[in-house]
Amino acid sequence: MYLQMVGLNHKTAPVAVREKAAVSMEALPAALDLLRSDKALSEIVLLSTCNRTELYAILAESPAELDGGRHLLVEQLARLTGMPNGELDPHIYTHAGPECVTHLFRVACGLDSMVLGETQILGQVRDAYLAASTRGAVGKLLHQLMGQALAVGKRAQTETQVGQSAVSVSYMAVELAKKVYQSLAGRRALCIGAGETAELTVRHLQAAGVTDFVVCNRTLARAEELAAKVGGVAVPLEQMTRALQDVDVVVSSTASPSYMLTREHVAEAFRARRGRLMFLFDLAVPRDIDPEVAKLDGVFLYDLDDLQAAVAHNLQERAREARKVEKIVAEEAGKFLQWQEAQLVVPTIRMLREKMDAIRHDELARTLSRLPDLTERERQIIEAMTVTMLNKMLNDPTQRLKLLAGQAESRAAIRTIHDLFALGGSEPGEAKAR
Amino acid sequence: MSAVNWATLLFGLTAAIYTMAAICHVIAVFRRDWEGLARWSTRLSWVLQTVGLLLLIGQTGRFPIYSLFEAAYGFSWLLTGNYLAIEFFGNNQASGAALIPMMALLVILSVALPKPVPTHEVLLLDTLPASLVVWHVGVTLLGYALFVAAAASSMLYLLQEGQLRRKRFWPLYHRLPALEWLDLLAGRFIAIGLPVLTVGLGAGVIFATLTWNGPWYTDPKVLFTALSWLLYMGLLLSRLLLGLQGRRAAWWAITGAAGILVNYFVVNLFFSALHRFGA
> What φ, ψ does residue B278 adopt, rounded to 5°?
75, 0
| pLDDT reading at A57 higher than 60 | yes
Looking at residues A412-432, what average pLDDT do you find? 70
- Distance of CA B145 to CAs B52, B142, B196, Å? 20, 5, 10
Q: Is a pLDDT exceeding 50 seen at residue A371?
A: yes
Amino acid of residue A236: P
Q: Is A109 a catalytic residue?
A: no
Contact B180 A298 (CB under 8 A): no
A181–B180 CB contact, under 8 Å: yes
Nearest CA in chain B to A301: B165
Looking at residue B272, what is its pLDDT? 60
**DSSP, residue by residue, A160-191:** S-TTTS--SHHHHHHHHHHHHSS--TT-EEEE
> Of A178, A183, A277, which has the smallest distance from its Cβ to B246's Cβ?
A277
CB pair distance less than 8 Å for A181 and B178: yes
B246 at interface of A, judged by CB pairs closer than 8 A: yes
How much is the average pLDDT of A288-305?
92
- A179: nearest CB among B179, B243, B244: B179
Q: Which amino acid is at A162?
A: V
Q: What angle do CA A110, A73, A75 make, to 5 degrees?
A: 125
User: Which residue positions in chain B have pLDDT lower than 70?
Assistant: 1-4, 65-66, 90-91, 114-131, 269-279
Contacts of B179 (CB under 8 A, 6+ apart): A179, A180, A181, A277, B157, B160, B161, B164, B246
Q: How confident is the model at residue A427 (pLDDT cuts 50, 70, 90)?
A: very low
Quick check: helix, strand or coil at residue A22?
A: coil
d(CA A137, CA B191): 64
Distance (Å) from the C-alpha of residue B164 to the closest C-alpha of chain A? 8
B188 shares contact with chain A (CB less than 8 Å): no
Q: Do B174 and A317 touch (CB under 8 A)?
A: yes
Residues A4 and A95: their CA atoms lie apart, in Å, by 6
User: Which one of A179, A276, A309 has the shortest CB-CB distance to B164?
Assistant: A179
| CA-wise closest residue to A412 among A393, A395, A433, A430 | A430
SS3 of chain B? CCHHHHHHHHHHHHHHHHHHHHHHHHHHCCCHHHHHHHHHHHHHHHHHHHHHHHHHHHHHCCCCCCCHHHHHHHHHHHHHHHHHHHHHHCCCCCCHHHHHHHHHHHHHHHHHCCCCCCHHHHCHHHHCCHHHHHHHHHHHHHHHHHHHHHHHHHHHHHHHHHHHHHCCCCHHHHHCCCHHHHHHHHHHHHHHHHHHHHHHHHHHHHHHHHHCCCCHHHCHHHHHHHHHHHHHHHHHHHHHHCCCCCHHHHHHHHHHHHHHHHHHHHHHHHHCCCCCCCC
| pLDDT recorded at residue B217 | 73
The pTM score is: 0.70
Q: Provide the angle, in degrees to the nearest 10, between the axes of the packed helices A28-36 and A120-134.
A: 50
The yes-or-no verdict on residue A131 having pLDDT over 90 is yes
CA A425 to chain centre: 38
- Closest residue to B181, CB basis, from A165, A182, A302: A182
Residue to mutate among B157, B167, B188, B244, with most A CBs inside 10 A, is B167
pLDDT at A292: 93
CA distance A95 to A338: 18
Residues in chain B: 279
Nearest to A178 among B169, B178, B245 (CB): B178
Residue in A with minimal Cα distance to B241: A274
CB pair distance less than 8 Å for A274 and B243: yes
What is the predicted pLDDT for the residue at B126?
47
Q: Which of A179, A292, A296, A324 to mutate to test the interface with B (most CBs of B within 10 A)?
A: A179
Cα(B133)–Cα(B200) distance, rounded to whole angstroms? 9
Task: Determine the Cα angle at B122 with ends B117 and B123, to 5°.
Answer: 140
Q: Which of B164, B178, B246 sits opposite A275 (nearest CB)?
A: B246
End-to-end C-alpha distance for chain A, whole angstroms = 10
Check residue A319 and give its pLDDT: 92
Q: What is the mean pLDDT of residues A326-347?
A: 88
Give B165's contacts in chain A (Cβ within 8 Å). Answer: 294, 300
Considering chain A, what is the average pLDDT of its residues?
A: 89
Whether residues A300 and B164 touch (CB distance < 8 A) is answered with: yes
Give the bridge partners for A279, in sequence order. Answer: A249, A300
Q: How far is B22 from chain A (nearest CA, A)?
A: 25
Separation CA A189–CA A205 (nearest Å): 8
DSSP-derived secondary structure letter, A7? E
A181-212 pLDDT per residue, tens? 988 988 999 999 887 888 888 889 998 899 88
Number of A–B residue contacts, CB under 8 Å: 47
- How far is A164 from A166, CA to CA, in rounded Å? 7
pLDDT above 90: residue A327: yes
Q: How big is chain A, counted in residues?
A: 434
Say if B160 is an interface residue toward chain A (CB within 8 Å): yes
User: CA of A182 to nearest chain B CA: how many angstroms apart?
Assistant: 5
Helical (H) or strand (E) element with A404: helix A376-404
Assign 3-class secondary structure to A266-298.
HHHHHHHCCCCCEEEEECCCCCCECHHHHHCCC
Q: Which region among A137-151, A321-335, B83-97, B167-181 has the lowest average model confidence (pLDDT)? A: B83-97
In this complex, the residue of B167, B181, B243 whose CB is nearest that of residue A275 is: B243
- Does residue B164 sit at the A interface (CB-CB below 8 Å)? yes
Query: Looking at chain A, which residue has its C-alpha nearest residue B180?
Result: A181
- For residue B210, how far is the Cα from the chain centroid? 29
Considering Cα of B224, then B227, then B229, then B235, what sign does the dihedral take? negative
Q: What are the tens digits of pLDDT across the range A30-44?
A: 999 999 888 888 999
Our CA-based measurement puts residue A243 at a distance from the nearest CA of chain B, in whole angstroms, of 21
Burial class (CB in 10 A: 0-12, 13-18, 19+), A377: exposed
Query: Looking at residue B123, what is its pLDDT?
Result: 43
Chain A residues near residue B167 by CB distance under 8 angstroms: 302, 306, 309-310
CA B40 to chain A, closest CA, distance in angstroms equals 19
List of residues 6+ apart from B63 with CB closer than 8 A = B57, B134
The CA distance from A117 to A111, in Å, is 5
- What is the number of alpha carbons within 13 Å of residue B170 lying toward its C-beta? 21
Min distance B243 CA to chain A CA atoms (Å): 6
The confidence score (pLDDT) of residue B130 equals 62
pLDDT of residue B274: 57
Chain B contact set for A276 (CB, 8 A): 243, 245
- A220 — pLDDT class (breaks 50, 70, 90): confident
Q: Which residues in chain A touch residue B187, judged by CB atoms under 8 angstroms apart?
A: none
Provide ipTM, 2 decimals: 0.72
Mean pLDDT score, A216-237:
88
Give the gap in angstroms from C-alpha B168 to the nearest C-alpha of chain A.
8
